[in-house]
Amino acid sequence: MSRLLARPRSAGPLFIAPFMVLFLLLFLAPLGYAAYLSLFQEKLVGGTSFVGLDNYLAAVKDPQLREGVVRVATFFVIQVPVMLLLALLFALALDSGLLRLAKVIRLGIFVPYAVPSVVATLMWGYLYGPDFGPFAQLSDKLSLPAPHFLTDSWMLGSLANIVTWEFVGYNMIILYAALRTIPTELYEAAALDGAGSWRIAWSIKIPALRPALTLTLLFSVIGSFQLFNEPSLLMKIVPDVIDSSYTANLYAYTLAFTSQQINYAAAVSFLLGLVIVVISYAFLLTANRRRPA
């Protein structure tokens, strides 16, 4: 009898052992090695030497890193509210049951998420083109000045448009799935009380979506501060507008693989990760405090 009871107890660790091994080898070990590298510095005289937290102190004072973080934070303020508002509107429209060909519309909104970000950026880079892009050609036909999508003043908006196009469908699916879990009895009771579709959406659906909205906003915080592919590719088109430190992630990549400053790049990456953790934790703490008991 004791042997039979011992088997289920040992089965759990055996099931999670493959994941733990991969997690250790592919995540914790590289993370620990990067932390180790961030404590050293390669010098012209004396080779690699231990410098403690000097790389982190230099990163805090680095104006290029600060500008990249501020730029990404501005991008977050511009892009995320628009993206989540569109995702919410599409999810509510699909859940209303009033749309014809709802499955086709849902698939059409989600398909851009399946397009790799590299392909999406190249496609939008062509559309934004001031010489051969369709917007420029249309403006030329109408004798109007070409839109300045790739200029310094428009670049953040252009990047926000690309990312919004990519991720509206992803967030819509999360919100739509959350809407489908709301009991229909609530809608029926509200309709009996005289509530219309807009009132039901405002008073029942949107409050019930608060956990899902919190999740999508948390993902958006992390994704915004990891912005890399889009500016990296557009930098090839407009290097005078997007430089190697345009975003913090792009700056860390350039330090590591172009400037060969591996140790300093590791410190910058860890500092950026700390910023993401602090902002995400502050957001979750604020959301939990506002949640009704």
239 located within any domain: yes
Mean pLDDT for 178-189 is: 87
Mean pLDDT for 171-197 is: 87
43 located within any domain: no
Average pLDDT, the chain: 87
Residue 189 has a pLDDT of: 86
At 247-293, the pLDDT tens digits run 999 999 999 998 888 999 999 999 998 888 888 888 888 877 766 55
Asked whether residue 70 carries a pLDDT value surpassing 90, the answer given is: yes
- What contacts 52, CB < 8 A, 6 or more positions away? 39
Q: Are 120 and 165 in contact (CB under 8 A)?
A: yes
36 located within any domain: no
Instruction: Identify the H or E element spanning 172.
Output: helix 155-179
264 located within any domain: yes
**Plot region of 129 (φ>0 → left; ψ -120 to 50 → alpha; else → beta):** beta
At 33-49, the pLDDT tens digits run 988 989 888 876 667 78
3 located within any domain: no
State both tokens at 41.
């510095």
21 located within any domain: no
Look at the chain and report how many structural domains it folds into: 1
Residue 44 has a pLDDT of: 65
14 located within any domain: no
230 located within any domain: yes
- What CATH number does the domain containing 208 carry? 1.10.3720.10
Residue 59 Cα distances to 38, 51, 252, 267, 268, angstroms: 11, 13, 10, 7, 6
Q: pTM of the full predicted structure? A: 0.86
Instruction: Give the domain range for residue 269.
Output: 56-290
User: pLDDT band at 185, cuts 50/70/90?
Assistant: confident
At 15-38, the pLDDT tens digits run 888 889 998 998 889 889 988 989
Cα–Cα distance, 41 to 239 (Å, whole number) = 30
State both tokens at 207.
């409050």
Picking from 76, 164, 153, 172, the residue whose alpha carbon sits closest to that of residue 117 is 164
Residue 46 has a pLDDT of: 63
Strand partners, 40: 50
